[in-house]
Copies of this chain bind each other. A is one copy, B any other.
Amino acid sequence: TLAAPAVAQSMPKINWRMTSSFPKSLDTIYGAAETMAKYVEAMTDGNFKIQVFAAGEIVGGLQAADAAAAGTVEACHTASYYYWGKDPTWALATAVPFSLNYRQMNAWYYYGNGIDLTNEFFNAQGLQAYPCGNTGAQMGGWYRKEINSLADVKGLKMRIGGFGGKVMEAIGAVPQQIAGGDIYPALEKGTLDACEWVGPYDDEKLGFYKVAPYYYYPGFWEGGPTLSSMFNLDAWNKLPDGYKAVLKTACEAANGNMMASYDWKNPPALKRLVAKGTKLRPFSVEILSAAYDASQSIYSDISAKNASFKKIRDSQVAFMRDSFLWTQLSEYNYDTFMMQMDNAGKI
């Protein structure tokens, strides 16, 4: 008898398509999907292949999750908060303003039941999802003029979407929805006062510093945004157990890998931006506090009428409360001292 085929069958030939919500030019975010696919292929001796397609090649970036749910493709790599208009619960798997940072998102996902909690929601949409990348705390965007007070925010025409846009609107700004390629000319003409994108490495490519030199921080609407790899639920369920393990582990590895990619690429990009005239500015406490209060009120309103939002949000908040007590001791003081040494030219 030949025992070998039993093993062979556990690595069947499978070809999947994964549609990304991002263009190839965002090589860090888009790259996380490619890293994941590359890991899967190498671990299965090329038997399980996932081909990644940029936004627009199969469907548009904002249709990625729908295409995976419908089975147009087997998989997508996306930011689930793009779909918050369907139900705000989608946003919690990526980021909402003033929520968990990178390490806290991971702790919550891998040890705080976050993967099961979010999949309870995603399964009902025909999807199985795993964290697959993070940008870290983003920057607060580019402004043509300095924004010192809430009076300066009043009437500010800013390109910002999702929950962040809702909070900016609550404190007086006028959020705008503009396609990526139209942002620069709008800022240049002044039909737009400000925009937000990601951070130094990605923002540099779009050249915003030339027309809106004030670069604010922190991007309080995205403290630790988590990208997701999402799989069509039927396609996922049909996979052999070994391939499910391969996908999950590849996503977990790619999740940290994308953060490492940004952490490696952002510092030199920041230096180049400053050399080219970018002016770094912190948001004032007045602005941050007003935005914080506005966001809490929005969360209360949604939680009062949306049980799935409330369940996940409450789980994140319970952890966040204790977590920031711990972070402010060793990690924060270590970094603080190292920054002081760095700023003193002693590193």
> B-contacting residues of A (Cβ < 8 Å)?
2, 4-5, 7-8, 10-11, 39, 42-45, 47, 98, 101-104, 106-112, 136-140, 199-200, 217-220, 223, 240-242, 245-246, 249-250, 252-253, 255-257, 259-261, 263-268, 270-271, 280, 282, 288, 292, 296, 317, 319-339, 341-343, 346-347
> How many copies make up the complex?
2
Q: Roughly how many angstroms separate A3 CA and B321 CA in the complex, as a whole number? A: 57
Is there an interface contact between B338 and A101, defined as CB atoms closer than 8 Å? yes
B282 A338 Cβ-Cβ under 8 A: no
CB pair A219 B330 closer than 8 Å: yes
CB distance B103 to A259 under 8 Å?
yes
Query: Contacts A268-B322, A329-B280 given: A334-B223 contact, CB under 8 Å?
Result: yes
Given contacts A139-B329, A271-B325, A332-B336, could you give 10 more A-B pairs where the C-beta distance is less than 8 Å? A2-B4, A4-B4, A102-B103, A106-B263, A111-B263, A140-B330, A199-B330, A253-B256, A320-B338, A321-B347
| Residue from B107, B256, B259, B267 within 8 A of A323 (CB atoms) | B267
Q: Is the Cβ of B338 less than 8 Å from the Cβ of A270?
A: no
Smallest Cβ distance from A8 to chain B, in angstroms?
Answer: 4
